[in-house]
Amino acid sequence: MYRVLAVAGTRPELIKLEPVISAFERLRGVETVLMHSGQHMDMMMFEHFLEELGLVNLKHVAIKASSHHDEDPKVSVSDLERTVEDTEPDIVLAVGDTYTVAFSALISHHAGVPFGHVEAGLRSFDPTMPEEGNRIIADHLASICFAPTSISAANLAMETIPQNRIEVTGNTIVDACLKHQEKAEESRIVERLGLDNKSPLILLTVHRVENTDDPTRLGNIVETVARLKQYHFILPIHPRTRDRLRRYGLFNRLLELPNLTVSPPLGYADFLKLLSVSEMVVTDSGGVQEEATILGRRCLVLRETTERPETVISGSCRVVGIDKFGRLLRQLLPRTAWPLPGKYRGVLGDGRSGMRIAKAVIKRLRRGLKPRPPRYLDDGFASFRLLRLRGAGSWSRLQHRLQTNRISILQIYDRDGRPYWPRGVRVLQDGMSVLVLGCPSVIETLGSRT
């Protein structure tokens, strides 16, 4: 029996972990323990989401948010450490890009426990985003990176994360979104919030630090909504956003706007219902960009970059920043200006990612996932080398030759320098390159072409 410790601290993490946890429950031989890290959800919201996602019977431990982080709780490292110690898991799993994820990776690493990062390889390439740092920490310390798409896998490959640590699985948000669609259709949230005669309806969510912690940006959003009187906005408000609006004296102004309904955070099915009936979505949330893509909605992203390029490529999302969003909303709202994206074509996954991840975890645990020290005794240190292949050849022969020299193969690139996906090249072709890591003196004997 393997024990998996699944760690979640925020609402989207729970939503995205549920498909993996449910898949473990369907497969035999795995016990899952869920840990609530105490980051963003209060206990009521946590319990509510456990119930809504069908996880109430799951064994779980909860860490209380540390009191000195009242308004913006992070995580208690010592509590996380203790839970990992007490649970004695075979693997720790976390999803996404929060403090919870970065600290789970670090703590697992120190405890010598394998760590699996779900939703690995997303990159905004914006070093000022706290989430970007969390993603990088989690991916580099993970024993398995579950990349949702070949774009995220290529990001990992370009950071020299070895190919054998990457699985392309699709994003579990697709599983979650499809699973809850029926309940969403039955939801009466539109009537409950009195939105049935409000049209066109715009769903607005704002919670990223880059927007909430900058009074000018947050004020800009409020004033743009105030100016767009011809639309009705619905804002399920995130606790951090509410706190900052109050702190900057903007909350009362927001409540006075006749074209805006403010609601507390909503349950998942209710939120999906609002998404599917809104004419457009305006958001800085990652998960909401994905859900807009899956449900075929049009979405303006209140940021300068996105780590989810698939949502833009598929025609669902446009990254517009804060300053222009009012003008672009007016221009793009008519469906003649921006047609609905149409049926979801699987750019983020096929709805079976949870099972794919669960099976990959079990397969790798059977093979033994415990980190082992390398053997670089010839020189005592290692260096990289990009080997250019001369002529076609067998992959297994090359692999054997390098491995007997204790040289690790990190990546294979095609003739145009693109990382080779999916993994599992069988035949090597002239002009391909192989990135290797090993003792410099041993690599030297191979030459730069092989």
349 forms part of the interface with ligand UDP (CB under 6 A) = no
Binding piece for ligand UDP, criterion CB under 6 A, among 9-17, 181-189, 313-321, 326-334: 9-17
Spell out the residues 6+ positions from residue 77 whose beta carbon is closer than 8 angstroms to its own: 103, 107
Cα radius of gyration rounded to whole Å, the chain: 24
Q: Are 166 and 160 in contact (CB under 8 A)?
A: no
Residue 191 burial (CB count, 10 A): 9
- Kindly name the residue from 36, 40, 109, 207 that is annotated as catalytic: 207
Separation CA 239–CA 263 (nearest Å): 11
Restricting to residues 59-98, name those near ligand UDP by CB under 6 A: 96
Q: What are phi and psi of 66, to 5 degrees?
A: -70, 140
Q: How many helices and strands in the chain, by DSSP H and E?
A: 20, 18
377 is written with which tokens? 């005794």
Determine whether 207 is an active site residue: yes
Binding piece for ligand UDP, criterion CB under 6 A, among 59-67, 286-294, 296-304, 313-321: 286-294
265 forms part of the interface with ligand UDP (CB under 6 A) = yes
Q: Are 7 and 99 in contact (CB under 8 A)?
A: no
What's the min distance (Å) between Cβ of 180 and ligand UDP?
A: 9
- Per CB under 6 A, the list member of 7, 11, 30, 314 interacting with ligand UDP is 11
241 forms part of the interface with ligand UDP (CB under 6 A) = no
| Burial environment of residue 70 by CB neighbours within 10 A (0 to 12, 13 to 18, 19 or more) | exposed
Binding piece for ligand UDP, criterion CB under 6 A, among 145-153, 262-270, 299-307, 356-364: 262-270
Q: Are 67 and 74 in contact (CB under 8 A)?
A: no
What's the min distance (Å) between Cβ of 121 and ligand UDP?
A: 16
- Per CB under 6 A, the list member of 286, 309, 349, 438 interacting with ligand UDP is 286
Element (H, E) at 261: strand 260-263
Strand pairing class (317-319; 232-236): unpaired
DSSP, collapsed to helix, strand or coil, labels residue 371 as coil
Q: Which is nearer to ligand UDP, 190 or 402 (CB)?
A: 190
306 forms part of the interface with ligand UDP (CB under 6 A) = no
Binding piece for ligand UDP, criterion CB under 6 A, among 10-18, 54-62, 323-331, 380-388: 10-18
311 forms part of the interface with ligand UDP (CB under 6 A) = no
233 forms part of the interface with ligand UDP (CB under 6 A) = no
Q: Are 104 and 13 in contact (CB under 8 A)?
A: no
What's the min distance (Å) between Cβ of 116 and ligand UDP?
A: 18
Binding piece for ligand UDP, criterion CB under 6 A, among 134-142, 183-191, 285-293, 313-321: 285-293
What's the min distance (Å) between Cβ of 173 and ligand UDP?
A: 6
170 forms part of the interface with ligand UDP (CB under 6 A) = no
Separation CA 311–CA 85 (nearest Å): 39
268 forms part of the interface with ligand UDP (CB under 6 A) = yes
**What single-letter amino acid sits at 328?**
L
What's the min distance (Å) between Cβ of 168 and ligand UDP?
A: 21
Q: Which is nearer to ligand UDP, 306 or 411 (CB)?
A: 306
- Per CB under 6 A, the list member of 39, 163, 205, 311 interacting with ligand UDP is 205
CA dihedral 304→309→312→313, nearest 10 degrees, is 140
Q: What does the angle CA 374 – CA 380 – CA 386 come to, to the nearest 5 degrees?
A: 70
What's the min distance (Å) between Cβ of 246 and ligand UDP?
A: 18
DSSP-assigned states of every residue in 389-432: P-S-EEHHHHHHHHHHTTPEEEEEE-TTS-B--SS---EE-TT-
288 forms part of the interface with ligand UDP (CB under 6 A) = yes
236 forms part of the interface with ligand UDP (CB under 6 A) = yes
- Per CB under 6 A, the list member of 15, 41, 262, 409 interacting with ligand UDP is 15
Separation CA 354–CA 360 (nearest Å): 10
* Interface residues toward ligand UDP, by CB under 6 A: 11-12, 15, 96, 205, 207, 236, 238, 265-266, 268, 271, 285-288, 291
Active site residues: 207
